[in-house]
Chain A
Amino acid sequence: MKTVTKTSLVALAAAILLSSPSAPVQAGDLSDASQIVNRTNVAQYYAANDGRALVRMKIVDDKGRSQRRQFAVLRRDLKDGGDQNYLVVFDQPADVRNTAFLVKKHTNKDDDRWLYLPGLDLVKRIAASDERTSFVGTHFFYEDISGRHPSEDTHKLVETTDTEYVVKSTPKSSKGVEFAHYTVRINKKTFLPTTIEYVNAQGKVYRRIETVKVDTIQGKPTITRLKVSDLQSGGYTLSDVSNVQYDLGIPDDIFVEGSLRNPPQKWLR
C-alpha cells in the first residue's frame, strides 16, 4: 500500500509540474518537443516488437502516368527507437518480382543493406546511399520508409491544438538534406503524424506527406494509407498497407542472406 501511495504522489507531482499555468494547455499535454518526436518515432516505426505487412504503392508522375509497387515486409526491433531488421520481398512490378532487400538499420552508423537479384541468384551488398533519394522509384525517400532519427534535428513545439501537436524540426546539419526545415502535425492520442510539410530555403512548402487512414491493429494505431506529394512536379505516390500483424514472434535469425534467396514463407504468408 505504501508504494502505491508513493507512486500516486509522484504522478500527481509530475502532472502539476507538466501543466504549466501560463499556456492554454490541457492536462496531460506534453511540452517537450523532443519527447513528442521520440514518441512519434516509436509509434510510427517501432509498433510492437515485430510485424508483417503487405505494402502497395501507386506512383503517379507529373504526366499522370502511373506505376505500381507491391512488396511484403517483415520487421523485427532490437530495441525501441534503436536498431531494427527488415526483410522486404517484391512482388510488383513483374520485372522485379522476387527481388529482396535485407536491411539492418542502425541508429548510430550507416545501415547494412543487401539486395538479392533473382535472375543472377546474386546477393549484392549495397553501399550506404543518400537517405533522401527515391525509394524504389516512388516519391517516398528511404528515410520516409525507415524513419529519420530524431537526434538529427532540433525540435520546437510551435503549437498545441485540441487534437494535435505541431512541431517544427530543423536539421542540425544541412549536409544531405534538401529541406530548410519541416513541420510535423502529430495526433495527440496516437502520436502518429497526420501531416509533414517540408519547407525549402525560400520558405516554400515543396513536399508533403499526409496520413490518409489510421487503423487500430492489435490495439496499436497504425498508419495504413499515406500520400506523399511532390508539390513542385505535381507527382505523388499513394501507399496502402494491409495484412498487418504484430508480435508474431519473428525470430532474429531469419534476417540472413538465406532468407533473401528463399524468403521465409512461414512469416510472409
Chain B
Amino acid sequence: MKPTICTTKQCRSGVPSLRCLAVAALVFAALAFASGAFAQDADGAQAGTEEGAAEADAGPSTSAEGEAYAEPRAEETETAEELAGDFEPSEESPGDDWEDFDEWEEEAGGSAGPSDKAWGFQLGGFVEGLVAPRVVRSSASASEFVAGEARFRLNLDATHEIASARFRGDVYADAVDSRIWFDIRDASIFVRGGDWFSMRFGRQVLTWGTGDFLFLNDLFPKDFNSFFIGRADEYLKAPSNSIQTTFMMKKVGLDLIWTPIFEPDRFIDGERLSFFNPLLGEIQGDRTTFVDAEGNPQPASPIEPQFPDKRLRNGTIHGRLYGSAGPVELAAYGYAGFWPQPTALTGPLAPPPADAPNLSYARLAVYGASVRAPLGGGLINVEGAFYDSFDDRAGTDPTKPNSQFRGLAGYERELFPKFQMGLQYYLEYTLKYDELTAASGPGGTPGSYWPEYLPNRFRHLITLRLTQLLVMDNLELSLFTFFSPDELDTYIRPRVTYKIIEPLAIVVGANLMFGRYDYTFFGQLKENTNVYVRLRYSF
C-alpha cells in the first residue's frame, strides 16, 4: 500500500502489538459506550411502545385517534375528505407511532426527498474499530496483528439536477504501522450533459465486470491488503484520479475512463502481510532481509517498485461498451496501460541475493467480453479476457510476464428463502508456457528466472459463496471460499454481520489461507491467517 501522505518510514520495525491493543481498546470502549447509550434509547422506545400497546388494550381507539388518521394534510386535494369519510381507520395502531414520521420529516431537513432548493446536501459517515490478530505463527512478520485501527469516514454529497459533487474521506489511526493515514476515496464532480452524455472527474472508485471477487476486465486499482485483513468489502477497491465519460445511445452505453497517472494496485509488499518472493525463494515479511552487494543485510520489505514516468503516454485507458438484448446483458471491454502489479524486472538481472533488481510494471493491454442472463431461477455469467503482455508476446523475456487468457463462468441463485449460493469457475491460461521453462531466452536462459515457482499453464480456481440472512435481515452469515485444485491452496472467508441496533453493527470474521506450497497464490499468504472483529457506528 502506498502512503497517501506519510512517506517516511520511522516506525517500520518494532513490535507494535501493545500500541495496537491500546488503540483497539480505546476504540472498542468508545463504541461500547455508544452502544450502551443506544441500548438505553431502545429501552425508552420499548417502554413507549408498551405504553401505546397498553392504551390500545384498554379499549377500542377513541374517535380522537381516528380523526388523527384522517386529518388532512396540506398537500391533499379537494376529494380527500370525501374519501376519508368512506374510509375506516384501523383501531389497533398505536396513534403516537405515526407522529414519529412528522418529527422525522423535520429531522430529514434538506438531506433528502422533496426540496425547493437547487442544491441538496448530505452528510454522513461512520466510526469504526478493527482488530485482526494473526492466528498462526509467522517467522517472516514481526507483528502479531495484521490490523488494529480506528477509522473515521466522512461522506459529503452536494447534488443538483445536472451536476453533483461527492467526497468520501477516511482518516485512521493504524497501530500496526504506528501512523495516522488520510485516504481520500472519492473527491469528484459529476456533470450530466443531456440524456446522452455524462462525465465524472476527480478521485473515484471504479468497478465493472461480472465476477464476484474475481476481476478479469476490471483493471481498476485494488487494495489486496485491505481484502485480507478484515476491512469492509468496499476497501478491496482503491480509488484513482480519473476522468469517466459515459455516452448513452438508446439501449447501448459506452464508458471511457482515462487515468492520466497510472494508479497501481495497493499490492502486498511484505510490510503488513507476508508473501512469497521468488527472488528470495521464501516467504517475505517485514523481518525479512537480504544481503546487498557490500555484504550488509538490508530489509527486503516493503517492495518498492519503479513507477512509470508521470507522462501522459503512461496513463491508462479503460473502455466498456454495454447493452442488453431482452434479459441478456452483453459487454465488451478494453484496456491499455500496465499490469496492475509490479511483475516485471528492471536493472541488474543477476538473481539475488547479490543485487536486488528493481521491480516495475510491464505494459499491458486487455480485451474482453461478458454475458450475464437469468437462467433456471438464477443468474449465469460468462466472462473472458485476453491479457496481451505486448512487451513479451514471444514469452522469451524473463523480465516480463507472459500473455494470458482468463475465463470465468458463474452461476448464482437463491436456494431457500434468504439463502443465496454463488458458484464460479475461473481459468488462467498462460500463453507461450514452454518458452517460460525452456532455454529460449537471450543467452540460452529460460523465459522465467523462477520456472519452479510459476503457476501451472492452466490455473484453475473454484469459488463458492453462501449467504444467509436471518432475524429480519439483521444477521448475515456469509462464507466465501476460493479453492484451486491444481495449486492445492484455499482461502476461506467466513463472516458474521449483526446489526446490534440501528446505527451500530458488529462484524466477526476470519481470513483463512492454506496451501501445500509456499509459492502459490493463496498458499503464500498462509502466515497471515487471521480472525477479526469490526465494530461500526454509522451516522
Chain A residues proximal to chain B, CB less than 8 Å: 54, 56, 58-61, 63-68, 70, 72, 91-95, 97-98, 110, 112, 117, 119-123, 125-130, 132-134, 136-139, 163, 187, 189-190, 194-195, 210-219, 221, 225, 227, 229, 235, 238, 240, 242-243, 251, 253, 256-258, 262, 265-266, 269
Count residues of B near A (Cβ-Cβ below 8 Å): 95
B237 and A212: CB pair below 8 A? no
In angstroms, Cα B420 to Cα A213, docked, is 36
Q: A94-B503, A194-B87 are in contact. List 5 more A-B contacts (CB 8 A).
A: A54-B112, A70-B104, A94-B539, A119-B205, A128-B414
Pick the contact of A225: B98, B195, B327 (CB < 8 A). Answer: B98
Give 14 CB contacts A-B under 8 Å: A67-B502, A95-B126, A120-B205, A122-B207, A130-B417, A130-B418, A137-B474, A163-B88, A190-B83, A216-B76, A217-B77, A242-B113, A256-B248, A265-B164
Q: Which residue of B lies closest to A96 (CB)?
A: B538
Could you give, for residues 321-353 of chain B, a 1 whenever the CB lies within 8 Å of some chain A CB and a 0 otherwise?
010000101000000000000000000000000
Restricting to B138-169, which residues have a CB under 8 Å from any CB of A?
155, 157, 159-162, 164
A112 and B327: CB pair below 8 A? yes
B472 and A212: CB pair below 8 A? no
B233 and A120: CB pair below 8 A? yes
Cβ contacts under 8 Å, A251 to chain B: 195
Chain B residues proximal to chain A, CB less than 8 Å: 42, 45-50, 69-70, 72-73, 75-80, 83-84, 86-90, 92-93, 97-98, 100-101, 104-105, 108, 111-115, 120, 122, 124-126, 155, 157, 159-162, 164, 190, 192, 195, 198, 200, 204-208, 232-234, 236-237, 246, 248, 250, 253, 322, 327, 329, 372, 374, 377-379, 412-414, 416-418, 420, 469, 472-474, 501-503, 505, 536, 538-539
A130 and B414: CB pair below 8 A? yes
Pick the contact of B236: A95, A112, A120, A123 (CB < 8 A). Answer: A120
B42 and A257: CB pair below 8 A? no
Most chain A beta carbons < 10 A, residue from B93, B105, B246: B93
Cβ contacts under 8 Å, A215 to chain B: 72-73, 75-77, 80, 83
A211 and B417: CB pair below 8 A? no
Q: Which residue of B lies closest to A117 (CB)?
A: B234
Most chain B beta carbons < 10 A, residue from A60, A64, A133, A240: A64
Pick the contact of A94: B73, B126, B159 (CB < 8 A). Answer: B126
A134 and B473: CB pair below 8 A? yes
A214 and B101: CB pair below 8 A? no
B98 and A240: CB pair below 8 A? yes
Cβ contacts under 8 Å, A221 to chain B: 79, 83
In angstroms, Cα B84 to Cα A163, docked, is 12
Q: Which residue of A lies closest to B209 (CB)?
A: A122
Q: Which residue of A lies closest to B77 (CB)?
A: A216
Query: Smallest CB–CB gap between A252 and chain B, Å?
Result: 10
A211 and B46: CB pair below 8 A? no
A128 and B237: CB pair below 8 A? no
B42 and A97: CB pair below 8 A? no
Q: Which residue of B lies closest to A119 (CB)?
A: B234
Query: Smallest CB–CB gap between A220 and chain B, Å?
Result: 10
Cβ contacts under 8 Å, A122 to chain B: 207
A262 and B160: CB pair below 8 A? no
Pick the contact of A120: B83, B237, B473 (CB < 8 A). Answer: B237
A214 and B87: CB pair below 8 A? yes
Cβ contacts under 8 Å, B505 to chain A: 95
Query: Smallest CB–CB gap between B440 and chain A, Å?
Result: 42
In angstroms, Cα B236 to Cα A214, docked, is 46
B87 and A95: CB pair below 8 A? no
In angstroms, Cα B212 to Cα A127, docked, is 13
Given contacts A95-B536, A120-B236, contact A253 B195 (CB under 8 A): yes
B414 and A227: CB pair below 8 A? no
B113 and A72: CB pair below 8 A? yes
